[in-house]
Amino acid sequence: MPLLDLAEHAQQLRTLARDFEALHARVRDVSYTPGTDALRQISPLLLMTQDLTATVLVRLGALDSSTYTSVADSRASLECLASVVVASSLAGNDLASALHANPYEGAPFPGYPADDASVRTARHAEAIPKMTGHLADAAHQLDLSATGCHYVATGITRDLAATREGAATAQRSAGPPLTSAQYDALKALALGGGRLYESSQRGLGVTRVTADDGTRISIATFRALNKRGLIDWDTSTSLVHGQKITVTEHGRQALAKPRPAATATTPAKAVPRTPAVQRARR
């Protein structure tokens, strides 16, 4: 799954979180009268909760089958989204329990007298605390669901930013590709090592680099390889005796790539001379 698709998933999860927040507010503020009115007011809330639960399952399945699973710390996001499925399901169960506690007005069993006003009032008084408790529990679970969706969306955004930054850092550290001369110098140093030393012939302060097989390496090439972390050398010894140069693991990885082609140089064209104008003799 491309990074842009993962960013879209993060946005969809934020939208889902807002849907949970809106439903949480509706459940928290629902007003009803026990009986038929309660059934009409609570039933749509239950259906909306079930729809949101199904949507969370779709989001979880999409992330679980995407390349996001290879991103560091993605497991925590997947586990959190799975916990949202639990919280949303529990909210639906709480709403269903509220409907179960609702006193319905159907006729009693044959032979039993119909409820009068006092019995009906007593049944409502007994049901209201139970229904209120179930609705409060449902609102709490919906709030947890919204928080979980926000958390996962933030985690995906953070992970994507870290992935982009890591790729940019790797690209910066890689720098431009090796030239053929740099590649050959690195290969000579990898085969037998080399030494950085002061030239006694040219005087102190003039450093030179030579591979152990006799290959001469320019100071500019040596500095370019060192700047990219491809080589290292032992500074504990004197430059007069020579400081041993070694190729780093990063340098050996660079040698595993094909040798860059030598840059062809186009010889400069000779500029035709303008023929001299001879002076007329007198």
The secondary structure element, H or E, covering residue 243 is: strand 243-247
What values do phi and psi take at 246, rounded to 5?
Answer: -125, 155
Each residue's pLDDT tens digit, 41-99: 999 999 999 999 999 999 999 999 888 888 878 899 999 999 999 999 999 999 999 99
Give the relative orientation of helices 74-101 and 36-64 as an angle to the nearest 10 degrees. 160
pLDDT at 161 over 80: no
More confident residue, 253 or 41: 41
Q: Are 56 and 16 in contact (CB under 8 A)?
A: yes
Instruction: Report the pLDDT value the prediction gives residue 44, as an integer from 0 to 100.
Output: 98
Q: Are 225 and 251 in contact (CB under 8 A)?
A: yes
Q: Name the band, by pLDDT with cuts 50, 70 and 90, for residue 281.
A: very low
pTM beyond 0.75: the answer is: no
Q: What is the dihedral of CA 168, 173, 179, 183, to 10 degrees?
A: -130
The secondary structure element, H or E, covering residue 208 is: strand 207-211
Residue 267 amino acid letter: P
